[in-house]
Structure formats: structure tokens, C-alpha cells
Amino acid sequence: MIVEGLNGQIELTGSKVIITRKGILSVLSKGFAGEKVIPINSITTIQFKKGSLISGNGFIKFCYAGSIENRGNLSQAVKDDNAVIFRKKHNKDFENLKNKIEELKNQ
């Protein structure tokens, strides 16, 4: 499963989440950060905020032991290597991703 956000893409394999930064917006916000691999069994929390008419874009952020867990808002998520920002029209895709990761974690 692969979902495309504004500042990165997330690929879900059977055992890991891979965040890649491709495209001009990704480079502008994150530079040439490359790829971040997070084993599913190390994810402790998934922060998820849907995009809306009021707040604009949404985000998904993965927390794990040793990562910094900033609660909250889109401006913090933009700067976070463990987060991907997405448009409101992609809420369902990212919500499905979140649900699938939680399902895999609970197996």
C-alpha cells in the first residue's frame, strides 16, 4: 500500500512503514532527506488529524521509542521527519493506512 502526501509518500509493507521524500514540495520542506524506515512493531503511537475546510491539510505522524512526540498541530508536523502532510481529499486514503498499520500491530 502506498499513499501520496504533500511532503512525502508512505509505503506500508508487511512489517514496516517507509517514508520517502520525492517531488519539489518535499525537497522544499525537508530537503533531500531520503528514506525513513520504521518497523511496525516499534510504532508506539500514530497521531492522525484529518484535513478539513477549517484547518486545511491533515497529517499522520508515527511515534516510536526514542522519537520526539510533539502533540498536535500542523505547523509542528511540517517540520517532523516522522510525519506526512496531506490534503483533505486524501483523508480516506490516510485513514485506511492508519487502520491497516494498527491492525498489523495488533496481530
> pLDDT digits over 69-107, tens only?
666 666 666 667 889 999 999 999 999 999 999 999 888
Residue type, 100: K
Instruction: Report the candidate in 58, 78, 59, 80 with the shortest Cα–Cα distance to residue 69.
Output: 80
Q: Domains (ranges, CATH) in the chain?
A: 2-105 (2.30.29)
What are the beta bridge partners of residue 12? 17
Count CA atoms within 13 Å of residue 105 on its CB side.
18
> pLDDT digits over 14-23, tens only?
899 999 987 6
- The DSSP letter of residue 7 is S
Count of beta carbons in the 10 Å neighbourhood of residue 15:
9
Do 25 and 4 meet the contact criterion of CB atoms below 8 Å apart?
no
